[in-house]
Amino acid sequence: MNIRGAAIATNDDRLRKASPDARQSAPQAGDILVSERAARADVFAISIVAADSDIIVNRYSTAIERVQELARARRVDGWYTCDQTHYARVASYRS
């Protein structure tokens, strides 16, 4: 009996199926985005995706609070990025 083979086998059909409530993993047009302007400075730009920065703040906590407020008011998602490649959702109000 090959125990090693049984332990490695996976159900590929299950892995390929996306759950119905799966959400995007990056901002969409209209979402609110906060991003670090420089790696060493505490300067955060807040903008609507696909637009220029609207607000500049100097503290991470202030930036996240402001993104959450704006996302709630516009009924969109709020995101944080430090490198414009990886995104973390910090607010979820998109219906």
Element (H, E) at 69: helix 60-74
Supply the pTM of this predicted model: 0.66
Residue 18 is predicted with a pLDDT of 41
pLDDT at 41: 67
Asked, for residue 9, whether it belongs to a domain, the answer is no
Assess if residue 6 is contained within a domain: no
pLDDT (0 to 100) of residue 74: 93
Residues 48, 29: Cα–Cα separation, whole Å: 8
> Domain tally for the chain?
1
In a domain, 5, yes or no: no
One digit per residue, the tens of pLDDT, for the chain of length 95 reads: 444 444 444 444 443 444 444 457 889 888 999 988 766 667 888 888 877 777 888 889 999 999 999 999 999 999 998 888 889 999 999 87
Query: How far apart, in Å, are the Cα atoms of 12 and each of 3, 4, 17, 19, 23?
Result: 19, 18, 9, 14, 21
